[in-house]
C-alpha cells in the first residue's frame, strides 16, 4: 500500500488543474422563466420539478465535443490534471451507468464522454479525474427532499441506506471503468450524510484504487467553504477551499482552491463577469506561493464546446506558462511572509535552491529587496532569459536585486534567484498579546527565530544593537508603540516591526438592572444565507428562558435563534468572547458588534474583544442554520486566562 506522501507526490508537483462542470444544466444555459442568473443548481434554485427537468435528457446532443481539444488546451495552459463531473447534484451521469437510465446512455448521443476524455488526457500528459456528487436530487431514495418540493414529491418509501448502496455502486463503476487519479466528492453537507457514511465511501475508494486521491468532501468535517477539516477523525487526502484563497495558506495541509472563471460553475450564457487573464494568472501564483493547488473551472456549452472567453484566457495563461512554468510546477510555498512587489515560489535542495520572484508591481526604484535572506546568491536572472543576469547586493534588510529597465511580462515577470543550500530567512519578530487594547495592563511577548535575539524600544525610536533585549514578557500600563527587530551577532537582520497597544476606558454598566436568571431565547422560521440588519425573523415560533447559549439537539433547518438579556461582568476589564457556530452568528454587547461569525459555513469559531465595567451589560446573540448540521457555543476570557463557557450565574434578563 503506498504511503500518503507517495500518493500525493504527483498532485503536489502539479499545482494547477482544470475543473469542468458539464451536464444537462448547460442546455438552459442559466435561463428559466425570465431569470438568467442560474447555473448548475438550476433544478433547485429555479424550482424545476423532476418530470419537467427530465425533458432536458432527450435534448442532450453534444456534437461539438472534442476530447482532444479539451485536453490539449489544459496541457498547453500548464494544467497537469483535469476533474470533470461524472455526476452533479441533479443526479444525471455523464457515463452510461448500469445503475440507472438517468445518464448519457438514455440520450440521443450516448457517447462514452468520460472514456474519450480519459484517453485524450493520457495522450496529452494530463491526469484524468472525476467529480461525483453525494447529493442527488433525482434518485427516489435520496433524502432530504428539496424543501420546496416536499408537497409534490413526498419522501414516503424513500430508503437512504438503499441510496448509499446505489452511490457505492456508481463510484465503483467510475473507478473501475476510468481509473481517475482523483475522486472529487461534493454535496456532503446535508443532515443525512455523516462521518460513518463518509468513512465507508472513503474506504471503498481506497480498496478499489489504493493510489487514487480522495478529497475531504467525502466526509462531513471540511469546515465550511474554507475547506479545512478541523476534526481529528476527518478523512480525505486534501482540503478544498472554494472561491477563496486562504490568506496565509494552510501550513502542513495539502489544499486546493477551486474557483470559477466568471460567476457560475455551469454554463451561463448571460454571465458577463469573466475574470481577466491577469486575475487568473495571479491567482495561480498566489496559491502556489502559499503551497496550494489551483483548480480553475470551465462550464462547457451544451454542444460540448468551450466558451470563447474561456479559450482566450487559457491561451494567455499558456503563453505565460511556456516561459515560466518552472516557477509553478514542482515548487513549494514562499519562504517570506510578505513581499511588497508580488509573490515567491521555491524549488529547494540541500546543496542549492532557486527562489522564483513573481513581480506583479514593477518598482519605480528598479530594485527589489528580499528581507532577511541569509544565503549566498550565486545568480539572479529573468526566467526564460538566463543570459539576462541581474546584479545582486547584500543590504541591511536582506538582499537587493537590480531589475531590468522594463518587465518581461505585464502580468508577472519572474526573477529566478539561485542560492547555495536551502533557503534561510531571518524573520522579523512576532509581537504577541491578548489584544491591542487593555484596561489595566497588557503583557507583550516578542519572539524571533532560533539563534536570533530581539531588541526593542518603547519611545518611538528605531531599535539598535544597544536597545533593550526582550528576554521575557514586557508589561505595559499606558498606551505604547512597541518597535522591535531581530539581531544576529549585533547586526540587525530583519525589518523593524511595530504595534501600538492602547489603554481604553471600559463601557459603563446598564442602569436598568435585570430581574431574573437566564436569557430569553426566541426561535424563528427563516430562509437566511446571512443575518439581515432587521434580524428578528418576524413573529417568534417559540420563546423561552434558557440558562445558557446553545442546544443539545439540532433545532432543525431554516431556523434562527435570538438570545436577549444581560451578561454581568465581575470587574472592570477587557473581555474576549469566542463565538462558535454552524451556520452563521453574531454577538452584540451594549449595541456594539463584538463577534461577526456570519454566513453559511460549518462549525467555525471567531473571537472579538470589548472593554466592560463591572455590572450588567446588554447582550444580544443571533444564530441561524440553513441546512445540515447545527452548532452554537459562546466562551469568554479575561487577559492571561483561557477561554471558558459563560457561567449560568452571569446570564440574566
DSSP class of 33: T
- Are residue 72 and residue 179 in the same domain, yes or no? yes
Mean pLDDT of 154-162: 96
Domain assignment of residue 509, yes or no? no
Residues ≥6 apart with Cβ < 8 Å to 460:
481, 483
Q: How many CB atoms are closer than 10 A to CB 94?
A: 26
Total domains in the fold of the chain: 4
Q: Does 108 score more than 70 pLDDT?
A: yes
Domain assignment of residue 386, yes or no? yes
Burial profile 223-242: b = 16 or more Cβ within 10 angstroms, e = fewer:
bbebbbbeeeebbbbbbbbb
The domain of 644 spans 519-652
Q: How confident is the model at residue 603 (pLDDT cuts 50, 70, 90)?
A: confident
Q: What residues pair up with 548 in beta bridges, in sequence order?
A: none
DSSP SS3 for 13: helix
Q: Which residue has the cell 542549492?
A: 352
- Are residue 317 and residue 349 in the same domain, yes or no? no
Mean pLDDT of 609-635: 94
Domain assignment of residue 383, yes or no? yes
- Are residue 166 and residue 80 in the same domain, yes or no? yes
Q: Tens digit of pLDDT for each residue in 312-344?
A: 999 999 999 999 999 999 999 999 989 999 999
- Are residue 401 and residue 471 in the same domain, yes or no? no
Q: Does 537 score more than 70 pLDDT?
A: no
Mean pLDDT of 590-616: 94
Q: How confident is the model at residue 352 (pLDDT cuts 50, 70, 90)?
A: very high
Mean pLDDT of 431-442: 94
Last residue of a domain, one of 391, 420, 449: 420
Q: Tens digit of pLDDT for each residue in 369-394?
A: 999 899 999 999 999 998 889 999 98
DSSP SS3 for 537: coil
Angle (nearest 5°) at CA 625 between 620 and 626: 135
Last residue of a domain, one of 357, 386, 420: 420
Closest CA to 344 of 404, 399, 274, 405: 399
Q: What are phi and psi of 561, to 5 degrees?
A: -130, 145
CB of 294 within 8 A of CB of 287?
A: yes
- Are residue 543 and residue 489 in the same domain, yes or no? no
Indicate yes or no: pTM above 0.85: no
CATH of the domain at 563: 2.60.120.1560
Domain assignment of residue 465, yes or no? yes
Query: What nine digits make up the cell of 169?
Result: 455502486
Q: Does 505 score more than 70 pLDDT?
A: yes
Judging by DSSP bridges, how do beta strands 127-133 and 342-347 pair with one another? unpaired
- Are residue 319 and residue 284 in the same domain, yes or no? yes
Q: What are phi and psi of 311, to 5 degrees?
A: -60, -45
Last residue of a domain, one of 503, 537, 557: 503
- Are residue 103 and residue 242 in the same domain, yes or no? yes
Mean pLDDT of 11-38: 97
CATH of the domain at 453: 2.60.40
Q: What are phi and psi of 647, to 5 degrees?
A: -65, 145
- Are residue 320 and residue 353 in the same domain, yes or no? no
- The rounded mean pLDDT for the chain is 94
DSSP SS3 for 628: coil
CB of 224 within 8 A of CB of 600?
A: yes
Q: Does 579 score more than 90 pLDDT?
A: yes
DSSP class of 429: P
Q: Tens digit of pLDDT for each residue in 210-263?
A: 999 999 999 998 876 666 776 778 899 999 999 999 988 888 899 999 999 999
Domain assignment of residue 99, yes or no? yes
- C-alpha to C-alpha distance for 25 and 35, rounded to whole angstroms: 14
Residues ≥6 apart with Cβ < 8 Å to 320:
281, 409, 411, 412
Mean pLDDT of 148-169: 95
- Are residue 414 and residue 440 in the same domain, yes or no? no
At residue 225, the pLDDT reads 66
DSSP line for 244-271: ---TT--TTS-BEEEE-SSS-SS--TT-
- C-alpha to C-alpha distance for 12 and 291, rounded to whole angstroms: 9
Closest CA to 430 of 465, 400, 460, 470: 470
Q: Which residue has the cell 472529487?
A: 184
- Are residue 141 and residue 220 in the same domain, yes or no? yes
Residues ≥6 apart with Cβ < 8 Å to 520:
543, 544, 545, 563, 564, 565, 653
Domain assignment of residue 332, yes or no? no
CB of 594 within 8 A of CB of 610?
A: yes
CB of 83 within 8 A of CB of 296?
A: no
Q: Tens digit of pLDDT for each residue in 454-488?
A: 999 999 999 999 999 999 999 999 999 999 999 98
Domain assignment of residue 510, yes or no? no
Mean pLDDT of 561-573: 96
- Are residue 438 and residue 387 in the same domain, yes or no? no
CB of 223 within 8 A of CB of 232?
A: no
Q: How confident is the model at residue 396 (pLDDT cuts 50, 70, 90)?
A: confident
Q: Does 283 score more than 80 pLDDT?
A: yes
CB of 491 within 8 A of CB of 457?
A: no
- Are residue 208 and residue 229 in the same domain, yes or no? yes
CA 337 vs CA 345, 373, 485, 574: distances in Å: 12, 12, 15, 30
Please report, rounded to a whole number, the percentage of residues in the chain having pLDDT higher than 70. Answer: 98
Q: How many CB atoms are closer than 10 A to CB 140?
A: 15
Domain assignment of residue 353, yes or no? yes
CATH of the domain at 369: 2.60.40.1180
CATH of the domain at 91: 3.20.20.80
Q: Tens digit of pLDDT for each residue in 513-522?
A: 778 999 999 9
Amino acid at each position: 500500500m503506498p504511503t500518503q506522501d507517495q500518493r500525493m507526490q504527483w498532485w503536489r508537483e502539479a499545482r494547477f488543474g482544470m475543473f469542468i462542470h458539464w451536464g444537462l444544466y448547460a442546455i438552459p444555459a442559466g435561463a428559466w422563466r425570465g431569470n438568467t442568473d442560474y447555473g448548475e443548481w438550476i433544478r433547485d434554485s429555479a424550482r424545476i420539478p423532476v418530470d419537467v427537468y427530465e425533458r432536458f435528457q432527450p435534448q442532450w446532443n453534444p456534437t461539438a465535443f472534442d476530447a482532444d481539444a479539451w485536453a490539449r488546451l489544459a496541457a498547453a495552459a500548464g494544467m497537469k490534471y483535469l476533474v470533470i463531473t461524472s455526476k452533479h447534484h441533479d443526479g444525471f451521469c455523464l457515463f452510461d451507468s448500469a445503475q440507472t437510465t438517468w445518464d448519457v446512455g438514455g440520450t440521443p448521443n450516448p457517447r462514452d464522454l468520460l472514456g474519450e476524455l480519459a484517453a485524450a488526457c493520457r495522450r496529452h500528459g494530463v491526469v484524468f479525474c472525476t467529480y461525483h456528487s453525494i447529493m442527488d436530487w433525482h434518485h427516489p431514495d435520496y433524502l432530504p427532499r428539496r424543501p420546496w418540493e416536499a408537497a409534490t414529491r413526498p419522501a414516503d418509501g424513500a430508503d437512504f441506506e438503499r441510496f448509499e448502496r446505489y452511490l457505492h455502486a456508481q463510484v465503483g463503476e467510475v473507478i473501475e471503468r476510468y481509473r481517475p487519479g482523483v475522486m472529487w466528492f461534493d454535496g456532503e453537507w446535508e443532515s443525512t450524510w455523516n462521518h460513518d457514511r463518509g468513512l465507508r465511501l472513503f474506504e471503498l475508494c481506497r480498496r478499489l484504487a489504493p493510489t487514487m486521491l480522495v478529497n475531504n468532501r467525502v466526509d462531513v468535517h471540511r469546515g465550511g467553504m474554507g475547506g479545512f477539516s478541523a476534526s481529528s477523525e476527518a478523512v480525505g487526502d486534501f482540503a478544498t477551499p472554494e472561491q477563496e484563497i486562504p490568506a496565509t495558506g494552510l501550513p502542513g495541509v495539502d489544499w486546493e482552491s477551486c474557483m470559477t472563471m466568471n460567476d457560475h460553475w455551469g454554463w451561463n450564457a448571460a454571465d458577463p463577469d469573466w475574470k481577466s487573464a491577469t486575475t487568473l494568472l495571479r491567482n495561480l501564483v498566489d496559491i502556489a506561493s502559499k503551497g496550494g493547488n489551483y483548480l480553475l473551472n470551465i462550464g462547457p456549452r451544451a454542444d460540448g464546446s468551450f466558451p470563447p472567453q474561456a479559450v482566450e484566457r487559457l491561451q494567455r495563461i499558456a503563453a505565460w506558462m511556456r516561459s515560466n512554468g518552472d516557477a509553478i510546477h514542482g515548487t513549494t510555498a514562499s519562504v517570506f511572509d510578505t513581499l511588497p512587489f508580488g509573490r515567491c515560489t521555491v524549488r529547494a535542495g540541500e546543496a542549492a535552491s532557486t527562489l522564483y520572484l513573481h513581480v506583479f508591481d514593477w518598482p519605480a526604484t528598479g530594485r527589489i529587496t528580499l528581507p532577511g535572506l541569509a544565503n549566498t546568491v550565486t545568480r539572479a536572472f529573468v526566467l526564460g532569459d538566463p543570459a539576462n543576469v541581474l546584479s545582486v547586493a547584500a543590504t541591511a534588510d536582506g538582499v537587493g536585486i537590480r531589475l531590468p529597465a522594463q518587465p518581461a511580462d505585464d502580468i508577472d515577470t519572474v526573477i529566478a534567484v539561485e542560492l547555495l543550500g536551502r533557503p534561510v530567512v531571518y524573520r522579523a519578530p512576532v509581537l504577541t498579546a491578548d489584544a491591542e487594547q487593555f484596561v489595566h495592563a497588557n503583557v507583550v511577548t516578542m519572539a524571533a527565530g532560533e539563534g536570533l535575539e530581539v531588541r526593542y524600544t518603547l519611545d518611538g525610536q528605531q531599535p539598535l544593537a544597544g536597545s533593550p533585549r526582550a528576554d521575557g514578557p514586557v508589561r505595559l500600563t499606558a498606551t505604547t508603540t512597541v518597535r522591535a527587530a531581530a539581531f544576529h551577532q549585533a547586526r540587525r537582520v530583519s525589518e523593524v516591526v511595530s504595534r501600538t497597544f492602547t489603554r481604553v476606558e471600559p463601557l459603563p454598566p446598564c442602569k436598568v438592572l435585570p430581574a431574573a436568571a437566564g436569557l430569553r431565547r426566541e426561535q424563528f422560521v427563516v430562509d437566511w444565507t446571512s443575518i439581515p440588519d432587521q434580524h428578528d425573523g418576524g413573529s417568534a415560533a417559540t420563546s423561552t428562558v434558557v440558562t445558557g447559549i446553545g442546544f443539545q439537539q439540532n433545532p432543525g433547518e431554516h431556523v434562527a435563534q435570538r438570545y436577549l438579556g444581560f451578561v454581568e461582568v465581575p470587574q472592570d476589564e477587557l473581555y474576549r468572547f469566542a463565538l462558535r457556530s454552524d451556520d452563521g452568528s453574531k454577538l452584540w454587547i451594549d449595541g456594539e458588534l463584538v463577534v461577526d461569525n456570519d454566513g453559511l459555513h460549518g462549525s467555525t469559531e471567531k473571537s472579538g474583544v470589548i472593554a466592560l465595567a463591572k455590572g450588567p451589560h446588554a447582550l444580544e446573540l443571533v444564530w441561524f442554520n440553513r441546512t445540515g448540521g447545527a452548532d452554537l457555543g459562546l466562551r469568554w476570557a479575561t487577559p492571561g486566562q483561557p477561554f471558558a463557557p459563560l457561567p449560568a450565574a452571569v446570564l440574566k434578563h
